[in-house]
Amino acid sequence: MTTTTIPANAGRTTAVTVDRAELDRRHAAIRKTMVEDGIDLLVLYSSPLRNYDVHFAAHYDLIGCGALVALPLDGEPTLYVGEEWDLERARRVSPLRDVRYEPNLAALCGKLLRTKNSAMTAFEWSDSTFAEEVRSAAGGSVRDASPTLDRAARTKTPVEQALIREAAALADSSFLYSFDKLAEGMPEYQLQAEMEYAMRKGGAVDNFGFFTSGKHNRAIGLVTDKPIENGDLLIFEITPARLNRNYSAQLCRTMSMGAASSAVKEKFKIITEALEAGLEIVKPGTLVCDLVSAQDSVISRYGFGDYCKPPYMRARGHGFGIGRTDLAPKNKRQLEAGMAMIVHPNQYFPDVGYLALGEMIIVTDTGYERLCGLDRKVYEKV
């Protein structure tokens, strides 16, 4: 048996630096959409429930109760942190020049939102007490600017792309590591723990993952204490992140405990063909709905069109974090160079159950960059 060893720096293929020049690029993109939306002051907020926005604008990971960045259309942005004990770290990790402690972030938000043509992101992620205090201090309703930020972050900078490549390398290596560790009788949670260990050792800050085993899986779900048995199919949707969930990369794959049946291999060839058909048309200007249709058309041609819609399927892929795009049948958004997403024709078949296959890509000027280095096959543990 070949053993996969996870080096301590797996996935860190480049020396990625998030410096002030990188933040300036992100701020320029945000200011462009602020102009489009008539916003002169943008308050980017992060709560413990969702820390994307402040990390994107300030390269600061929230630890305490909250944080915000005040970004004017012209002038220097300011990072405010809600915990005095974290001020020193915030000043050390964030490239922003103006970093301050603010004991009452809600009151500050309200005060900033009294500025003409101001708006706020992620307000819906605040708790009810915070939201009520913000509205009271602002003197009324709060304008939502999350769509403004989403458009600015839809395409990734070269630095963000490098981080996503690192996350994709972690997904590959940790999947192979867990395949080596797989043994009959092992509970699902133990295999999940092996995968989590490999990702964390390699530098992942998070892994949003699903994994299910069984002889006829109907969907991918959360792990249980079910023992993995001979003849089980193991379906994975694993998503390591580098630095922040904004820089996540997903991998979808199928394992078999023992040799896979001919029926399973036959159905896996169908979703492989569907994936390749979708990727074939990826380029700037392609409509998202056409990318979905290219995958569904292949599966439908083999007689499984009724299973290409809810409750069996929802989307054929998606992005991550701020600027996420869902590959959904009615999404008429055009692909743009710099978008990062997973394309996954994961599919339920009535005879063999649910099979998983999906790969992370970055849209380029002429097509796409494949970030997955794994074979497109059922990984059989025999």
Residues 66-124 have pLDDT tens digits of: 999 999 999 999 999 999 999 999 999 999 999 999 999 999 999 999 999 999 999 99
> Do residue 192 and residue 145 come from a single domain?
no
Look at residue 314 in the predicted model and tell me its pLDDT: 86
Compute the mean pLDDT over every residue in the chain, rounded to the nearest whole number: 94
Percentage of the residues of the chain whose pLDDT score is greater than 70: 96
pLDDT tops 80 at residue 6 = no
Quick one: average pLDDT of 256-261?
Answer: 98
pTM recorded for the entire structure: 0.93
Look at residue 4 in the predicted model and tell me its pLDDT: 38
With beta carbons less than 8 A apart as the criterion, state whether 361 and 279 touch. yes
Distance CA 131, CA 110 (A): 10
Q: Could you tell me the CATH number of the domain that includes residue 296?
A: 3.90.230.10
> Do residue 240 and residue 179 come from a single domain?
yes
With beta carbons less than 8 A apart as the criterion, state whether 372 and 251 touch. yes
pLDDT tops 50 at residue 335 = yes
Look at residue 272 in the predicted model and tell me its pLDDT: 98
Domain assignment of residue 1, yes or no: no
With beta carbons less than 8 A apart as the criterion, state whether 206 and 245 touch. yes
pLDDT tops 70 at residue 355 = yes
pLDDT tops 90 at residue 7 = no
Domain assignment of residue 247, yes or no: yes
What is the domain range of residue 65?
20-152
Distance CA 171, CA 167 (A): 6
> Do residue 79 and residue 184 come from a single domain?
no
* Residue type at 162 in one-letter notation: A
> Do residue 297 and residue 324 come from a single domain?
yes
- Cα dihedral angle (203, 204, 210, 213), rounded to 10 degrees? 10
